[in-house]
Amino acid sequence: MGTLINKRLLLGVTGGIAAYKSADIVRRLREAGAEVRVIMSPSATEFITPLTMQAVSGHPVHQHLLDTGAESGMGHIELARWADAVLVAPASANFLARLAQGRADDLLSTVCLATEAPIAVAPAMNQQMWNNNATQSNLAAVNKNGIKIFGPGEGSQACGEVGPGRMLEPADLVTLTSELFATGELAGLTVVVTAGPTWEAIDPVRGLTNRSSGKMGYAVAEAAAEAGAKVILVSGPTTLTEPERVRTIRVTSAQQMHDAALAQAATANIFIGVAAVADYRPAQTASKKIKKTAERITLELVRNPDILADVAALKPAPFTVGFAAETDNIEAQARQKLESKKINLIAANRVGLDLGFESDENSLLLVEHGQVTELPAQPKPKLARALIRHVAASYRARSGAEIYQLRS
């Protein structure tokens, strides 16, 4: 099963007796690490109250499309953008018909049209309604639009009949939802990621470091694991929890990061250097704390090795991705870095006093030989998934080109 840690789940609840199980779905999604917001159709509120869903999700329930109060808070477009995935459970026959037609006259159907996130529906209805040709053709249309259908199960129904149409159990729905994120785009590949700052010791208690939190690198490692890769994360000092399904190697200095990263990169397919590596380190590290006696002291610094450039010089080299934090002239600076380090892709972002390093959101400009792609500002986990999707496509395009060159 995949993980739902850091995932934003939008649960749509439509009118059917199985709606009484929706509170349990929310509880289980949250236990699996997701943040959950709920949209209820008017008929769903006849089966379970918005107050219950608010209590279990920890957020007010969204119900109306044309409500000035709601739209001025988190309106339909914000909800559509916020979601990492949409699950509609239970999905009534009526809702499936509306989804098949691409209707946009209530909040849930409108959000389903407006979101780029994956959508899954868990149908729940009487077995005759399920077997009806109209429902089956609606389902085929929904499926053709890329929407996943979870279930339904078979068995005794609330109406006393027996047959297909029971909503899958909450635990199964949570497992299937977590699998929505397991894209398999990097299946069979090894990815090495560096993250966080480095610490260059001056003496036993002092050192040179920077404001990198490690959040972006950890999110990239997590997204690569989710995409099916074997991931090794070489991390500088951070306060973050080690991601699941990732082998984390902890280092302190740039030299240690260099040595660990190069050893791992030699057998990797993709290398992503997200770490904010110190360019210089003190020429000497004092073995004892430097005392406050002299009026003026001088710290001599020497250059650290460039990890990315050294990885890119390996033969064979992995597909190499660097990060560039710039305050101005982003694209030109990124292109210059791409050329000088001889790497495949630079993910550049603007940093300033309030942007980039410690914040939870970021945007990226992906600069490659011959193309530039912009990933707009979004939470780091979501941005990391978009980056991994792009890297996987560029990696495949390059590997395809190499195979073509060998054959021609």
Residues that bind ligand C5P (CB under 6 A): 194, 254, 273, 275, 277, 279, 304, 306-308, 322-324, 337
Q: Which residue is nearest to ligand C5P (CB)?
A: 307
Task: Tell the smallest beta-carbon distance from residue 307 to ligand C5P (Å).
Answer: 3
Catalytic residue flag (residue 159): yes
Taking the least distance from each CB to ligand C5P, the nearer of 44 and 277 is 277
User: What is the residue-wise DSSP string for 351-403?
Assistant: --SSSSSS-SEEEEEEEETTEEEEEEEEEHHHHHHHHHHHHHHHHHHHHHHHH
86-121 per-residue burial string, b: 16 or more CB within 10 A, e: under 16:
bbbbbbbbbbbbbbbeeeeebbbbbbbebbebbbbb
Dist. CA 220–CA 60, nearest whole Å: 31
Compare residues 85 and 308 and give the one whose CB is closer to ligand C5P. 308
Judging by beta carbons within 10 Å of its beta carbon (0-12, 13-18, 19+), is residue 17 exposed, middle or buried?
Answer: middle
Compare residues 138 and 253 and give the one whose CB is closer to ligand C5P: 253
Instruction: Name which of 157 and 304 has its Cβ closer to ligand C5P.
Output: 304
Amino acid (1-letter code) at residue 95: F
**Helix or strand holding residue 348 (H, E):** strand 345-350
Smallest distance from ligand C5P to CB 184, Å: 26
Nearest distance, CB of residue 274 and ligand C5P, angstroms: 6
3 vs 304 by CB, closer to ligand C5P: 304
Task: Find where tokens 């000497």 sit.
Answer: 284
- Give least dist CB 227 to ligand C5P, A: 20
In whole angstroms, how close is the CB of 318 to ligand C5P at the nearest point?
13
Minimum distance of ligand C5P from residue 194's CB (angstroms)? 6
Nearer to ligand C5P, 57 or 304 (CB): 304
Under 8 Å between Cβ of 318 and 192: yes
* CA-to-CA separations, 94 to 11, 12, 246, in angstroms, rounded: 17, 14, 43
Residue with tokens 């739902």: 4
The active-site residue, picked from 51, 66, 159, 313, is 159
H helices of 18-126, in order, are: 22-31, 44-47, 50-57, 68-72, 76-82, 93-101, 107-114
Euclidean distance between CA atoms 158 and 155, whole angstroms: 10
Q: Catalogue the active-site residues.
A: 159
